[in-house]
Chains A and B, each alone.
Chain A
Amino acid sequence: MFFLAGCDRPTDVERANKDKVLLVGNSAEPKALDLQLVTGVPESKIISALFEGLIGNHPSDDQKMEPGVATRWEHNEDMTEWVFHLRPEAKWSDGAPLTAADFIFSYHRMLSPGLAAAYAPMLHSIRNAEIYNRDLRGQILCGLDESFPLPWEVLSKANFEGVKVADAEKLSKADFKTLAQDEKRRLLASKGLDRMNQAQLEAIIAEPGLFDWPGEVPIEVRPLVLQRLRDYLVAGEPDLFEQAKIGLAAPDAHTLKVTLREPVPYLPSMVRHSTWYPVPKHVILKFGKMTDRFTDWSLRGNLVGNGPFQLSEWRFNHYIEVKRNPHYWDAAKVGLHGIRFYPIENPYTEARAFLAGQLHTTYTFPAELLARARKSFPQYLKQEPYVGTIFVRLNVTRKGLEDPRVRRALSLAINRAEYCQYIYEGYTPAKSLTPKLGEYRGPEVLDFDLAQAKSLLAEAGYPDGKGLPSLALLTSRPHPAADALQQSFRALGIRVTIEQKDWGSYIAAQQSLNFDMALAGWIGDYLDPTTFLDMWTKGNGNNNTGWDSPRYSGLLREAAQQPDTASRYATLAKAESILMDEMPILPIAWYTRLYLHRPEVKGWHPLVLDNHPWKTVFLDP
């Protein structure tokens, strides 16, 4: 009897169906749930259940914009001024009203240089946001002040941002006062006016010869600039948000006006990303200063959101559970009582858990098992288009990898067609970084040519890999592609070790440039190629390669100014060819979304960005 009863025990999924709880495989334990600090897909899946942006995702069409906190929005003719009308009934999950001021606080926090949010550059298209975010204080203090005697166009010729100087690092470590005159000059030039400390500014005020000014800046203006920067330091570097005149305004509690520095036709699509979500000011300030990173505000019991669900349980390395948010404006339409996110990193384990009835939908599915799945459980297998690229991120500050010829040689050693046939089955061999996205086509340049790779390596001074140190390939989980890459690079004589770290350390190692190579993936955040291209610029928190190129960022700036989509795409493609020539990253394959999914999950449709709005999902066993 007992044995029989044991056999009939319902699976997790069957029990969850009764409770209307969706069981979701979510790959990794989130690093945190502060939406302004995290960058990973696993985190974003949970955050999109807990928060909601101005515009929501449509359940079946990525191109369609659904109202979110904003009921409607309009823009001026050249798409540089956008007005979002917020719904008056919008509330935080603790019942506090959600107003336009909350959005302004959120974007203020996201952009504040002290927070150092990796995703902040996604807000740079707001007027003056980049200046504030990058803490270009000279421009804010002098350039944006209309009473300043010299216009910024002229003043900006001065060295504010610093120039490259060979021994800058050594010089900055030494005591400034002990340096020789020419060493002082070199150090100050490398710092630029924006990054000098008080003693250095005062040294120039006392001895103007220490700093080179362009002829356009009149001699009488120079001390004014120095004075303003010095006074700012003396005042204790107060927040410059107000003075930066950022293009954000709230004419009333339920209207948000966003002024952009350039036309952004894809703004609604971009606004759907978590970067543009609101964060609760009243909760964040309770647990620390606005710019404190990783405070307790995003823990269970503290976290307050505005999404269809609220955080109800967080069992470390076991699961995170969210339950319905009664204060959500559209709570009546939410089809689930809750969602559980399981951090199962190993995709094979995840597949077994799914087949054992422990999950409704998986995070991914190993391509290796595709043939088996087609034969044995085709009813669960989903294979859908996906805007994403698998690539190897290179740390170009490491010995050997600083040479673009070595990086190109590495790229040429990867047989992408073979990888996609046997490892990433069903994926497309990458021809460039950006996958096919609307009308945009990147340069189709990536190739496999071992002979050329070898000659490039020899040209760079490492014939047959001799002289190159062994390189560590960072992964977040064991992956056959890592072994395959090891073998591919071995063919060039380059020794590669595999270094495996858990998700949090894997992300942290890349952000601190503490790695050689990393196997990585990037999923588009909105429907425009800039979601793949914008991040490879200087100071972008998702760059993590140490690479930047003025020519590249110049082309991106140029593209941003072009209102016509076709010519903008052409400029972006030019920029991408520079990226594919310099190779700070080695694209391998373009994703196909492969996962297992139970048929009783309804309201779930293929989406190329894979941002399924949780509120429309329901269970119908």
Chain B
Amino acid sequence: MENSTTIQAANEPAEAGRSLWGDAWIRLRHNRAAMGGCAILAIIVLLCFIIPFFPFLPDPAAQSLPNKNAGPSMSHWMGTDHLGRDLFSRILHGGRISILVGLITTLVSLTIGVSVGAIAGYAGGRVDALLMRTVDVLYSLPFLVIVILFSALAKGYTNDFTEWVVSLTGINQDAIAPFTSLIPLFIAIGALSWLNISRIVRASVQDIASREFVEAARSLGLSHGRILFRHIVPNAIGPIVVYATLTIPSVMLFEATLSFLGMGVQPPYSSWGILIKDGADRMLSNSALLVFPSIFFILTLLSLNFLGDGLRDALDPKSAKS
């Protein structure tokens, strides 16, 4: 009986337990670059998604030719562009699209990539070979060409789709057109950018699948799906999150490239890529058109990269011990 207390004491943790995420958060908090990136990112996202709802911000499509290429003023905080449209408003509205493109396509590519990678890594054998050779084939396709081809083909249907959505939901066409016109882009980029992530996930899953706790789960008679998505994938989340933060900026850059080639967002809507392209054309006459959107774009990309680096360090348990 006297032993009972000691047993209880043994059951009590020597110190408060910390989850993987708790550990990671502590490590991340000490990484100044990552936290700075996080803060800047939060500010930019808030600006882009909140400010446009306030009425003081001018309509980004409203032209006023006599007032073109004006410098910063009270009514136009960053001046106006070559057609007299408010630059600040265009940057914020463009930012919404750029950020959405980054997020949605990353989500699409994560969904596909994680599923394919996890199944290939867990199943092994023929399934693995088949999936990975498919990935090899897709790797060999010229990414940019495929995306351009797909966007060009889908362009005709997106207008119909927009009108269909408008007739179905009664939403103002102006409000959704910039987003529905991007659907082919989401699909095309998402459908081709999951290749890297699938390989990363496959490698992690192969490693984790041979651990004891998976063996234990299997001996308990859990189904393959439950083992894979409940026990294995959460343990591979570190590299996935890191890769996601690195995919978002690369997709945003890619959207900029496509818009630069005239395949991305359709006017009068804009994205940061389009604004930078328009600004680059006109840098001789009004350099502000290039400088301001570039600042926003660069800050976002840098922040995401810092955050990604920070997360990688934070989520890697080995780095914590060193």
Contacts and interface: CB of A to CB of B under 8 A. Distances in A.
Nearest to B67: A422
A169 B193 CA distance: 48
A287 interface: no
B284 A351 contact: yes
B268 A368 contact: no
Given A369-B285, A480-B82, A484-B83, A422 B66 contact: yes
A458 interface: no
Contacts of A486: 267-268
Given A346-B281, A372-B284, A480-B82, A422 B268 contact: no
Interface string B264-286: 00111000000000101110110
Contact of A487 (B262, B266, B268, B281): B268
Nearest to A481: B83
A470 B159 contact: yes
A495 B284 contact: no
A482 interface: yes
A371 B262 contact: no
Contacts of A470: 159, 163
B9 to A, nearest CB: 73
Contact of B262 (A419, A478, A480): A478
Contacts of B278: 478
Contact of A368 (B61, B82, B173, B280): B82
B61 to A, nearest CB: 7
A168 to B, nearest CB: 28
A376 B284 CA distance: 10
B196 interface: no
Nearest to A347: B281
Contacts of B76: none
Query: Secondary structure of the B side of the interface?
Result: loop
Interface size class of A (residues with CB under 8 A): 20 to 34
A423 B65 contact: yes
Interface size class of B (residues with CB under 8 A): 20 to 34
A133 B280 CA distance: 49
Interface in B54-71: 61-63, 65-66, 68
B262 A483 contact: no
A484 B63 CA distance: 8
Contact of B267 (A371, A372, A483): A483
Contacts of B163: 470
B14 to A, nearest CB: 64
A349 B282 CA distance: 10
Given A368-B82, A483-B267, A486-B267, A348 B65 contact: no
A487 B61 contact: yes
Contact of A371 (B63, B280, B285): B285
Contact of B63 (A346, A348, A368, A483): A483
Interface in A484-498: 484, 486-487, 490, 495, 497-498
A29 to B, nearest CB: 15
7 contacts: A366-B281, A369-B284, A421-B66, A487-B62, A487-B83, A490-B61, A498-B266
Interface of B: 61-63, 65-66, 68, 82-84, 155, 159, 163, 173, 262, 266-268, 278, 280-282, 284-285
Given A348-B281, A422-B66, A422-B68, 18 more contacts: A351-B284, A352-B284, A369-B282, A369-B285, A376-B284, A418-B65, A418-B66, A421-B65, A423-B65, A423-B83, A470-B159, A484-B63, A484-B65, A486-B267, A487-B61, A487-B63, A487-B83, A498-B267
Q: Which 10 A-B pairs have the closest CB atoms?
A: A348-B281, A422-B65, A487-B63, A500-B262, A372-B285, A498-B267, A372-B284, A369-B285, A418-B65, A369-B284
Interface of A: 346, 348-349, 351-352, 366, 368-369, 371-372, 376, 418-419, 421-423, 470, 478, 480, 482-484, 486-487, 490, 495, 497-500
